[in-house]
Chain A
């Protein structure tokens, strides 16, 4: 059995749209509150764990050492960990193993994000997560990924947008009771969500958590130290994390296997055999409303496709049988990415101590689960926490302080004394590599090439030199048909920086006939947006021979196989990148 590790303190800044404070100053606000909450001084801290999502949000390269002073890391063992959006929950796992290994008795875990620096829109920093050769030339927008996953989830289980919108309503209402929240709204309705601007169908404005600045910190301690520091430690009972394939279009987007894997690891360690009976409060990751439902299923708290029904029945409400996101979640409290994940751990700490004030879930919860998700939609991070049935305090308002951070208006942000503007304009030359180089050669000749693995029997698109499951070289090349099926699609109305498009784009995951699970990302054209369906048969429309250069754009788009569904092409707004041709 692993040594016991407890959370003994927590603190956070306010989450705001544009903070006057620097990232360092936000980190300091959170760290200081966390230490004060358990009456510790920085000298009492043995090591510091930090996390923050991509450097490109704050616009500070190597945010780890940049944030070190605000996190209290001066002259201490210190490390930044990073798993994208999963980072906030992961830093508590980092804190757990730092203590459980015996390296430290008391650690501080800090998570910070300052997204307001990134101009004109933080989405710009996300564009690089798409495959640089096969996806970025299509001009993807970050919302595509979520819209495609949400559509697939809705289609797989026959869900209506209304089933999903209720999550945004619940969380924004819950956040109205959170003193640090950016977007609490006690009177929001499902109609408000369903009536909000459509960004990339089915994603609408109020389905998405807001861009935010903020920081959160917790204090973790060994069993001996915890018992010395508090009579109400909240124990880390289980931790788990898991990563799915980096080929996101090859996954079943309807179900997060990686969350289930991470949850099974954490439940196993916690000795939780029946999570539906043994978990009393959950903080699943909710950057989009559908993600809470998706993740609750991955956490094995509801059957696949059944979380929406439970939510409609009030099961996940703060006073329901399984309160979910009583904090208000990312949708309500805000989404400074890494900080929002650690906020979930802090919320469980407050809930399990009975300190959540107006947000306190009824009864005496003994065990909760927090989860986050990130990287390229493929990492699950899970922590199970419990109070061991210990005594609950009387209802204290919590966070038990007035969270700080100064919110700037856009005007104040634009006119701030001493502000500096910089453009990070870095250029690259990417080698396509052997496998994708051969795929590009094939596209120039109007052929679509895949590789095969005889060990797992898969025909792989995108083609690769090695099978990531069998971890052996693939066995050869095969040409696959130019026809396939739309696995999932979105009708996208905005550019990556949220400017309206004249004509909507229709990104889709297309599975070519004769290939294995999933497919690849491309655009659908020659069809009215209302006529596109998951399962629709499509065929590639190629550029003429003289115009093909060995690029994913040699396929202009896919159109319906059925001629009756075809419409005159209006526009397929792929972004043409210049391609250098070798002599």
Chain B
């Protein structure tokens, strides 16, 4: 019999450099453990991570406004399976956090240990040390009520 299925692959590698806006954002995380955003005064919108332009009016923006490190939990999910639909050994909680001063939300892990997260609750970023300039410089967000705050 001839082959009924011909195996093939699309195997390409990528190296993504973060661009001008994200470079400022990652350097802020790495060097000062702060979240940098950018504000368009005309549109009244502050975005985190920082951008070099406003998507609503295309104005040039400075990627330099500090936001957070506390914020409000906007939504969350508990993930029990991996990308291949296999059960995770330890389920992971992800949340959308609106940092103080920002209008946009950030996706990251939640570090809640006791009880479920609650939409609307206050959370605070937990930074790693040392930091390399990456989203993983933030370990995740913990409830302020847990005493993660100052």
Contact = CB atoms under 8 A, between A and B. Distances in A.
B4 A431 contact: yes
A59 B12 contact: yes
B83 interface: no
B10 A28 contact: no
A563 interface: no
Interface residues of A, number: 65
Nearest to B27: A417
Interface string A102-118: 00000000000000011
Nearest to B21: A25
A315 interface: no
Interface in A1-51: 18, 20-22, 24-25, 28, 31-32, 35, 41-43
Interface in B1-60: 1-23, 25-27, 30, 52-53, 55-58, 60
A408 B2 contact: no
A418 B6 contact: no
A25 B16 contact: no
A428 B7 contact: yes
Given A32-B58, A418-B134, A551 B16 contact: no
A69 B133 CA distance: 25
B3 A427 contact: no
B3 A20 contact: no
A425 B9 contact: yes
A59 B52 contact: no
Contact of B55 (A59, A69, A406): A69
Given A22-B18, A117-B16, A417-B30, A42 B56 contact: yes
Contacts of B23: 20, 416-418
A42 B58 contact: yes
A125 B10 CA distance: 8
Contacts of A35: 58
A438 to B, nearest CB: 9
A320 interface: no
22 contacts: A25-B19, A133-B6, A408-B17, A417-B23, A418-B25, A418-B134, A420-B16, A420-B18, A421-B13, A421-B15, A422-B16, A428-B8, A428-B9, A429-B5, A429-B7, A431-B5, A437-B2, A440-B3, A551-B3, A579-B7, A581-B3, A582-B1
Given A21-B19, A59-B16, 18 more contacts: A20-B23, A22-B22, A25-B53, A59-B14, A69-B53, A70-B53, A117-B14, A117-B15, A119-B12, A120-B13, A124-B11, A124-B13, A128-B10, A418-B18, A428-B8, A431-B6, A440-B3, A582-B2
Interface of A: 18, 20-22, 24-25, 28, 31-32, 35, 41-43, 56, 59, 69-70, 72, 74-75, 117-120, 124-125, 128, 132-133, 136, 406, 408, 413-414, 416-432, 437, 440-441, 444, 549-551, 577-583
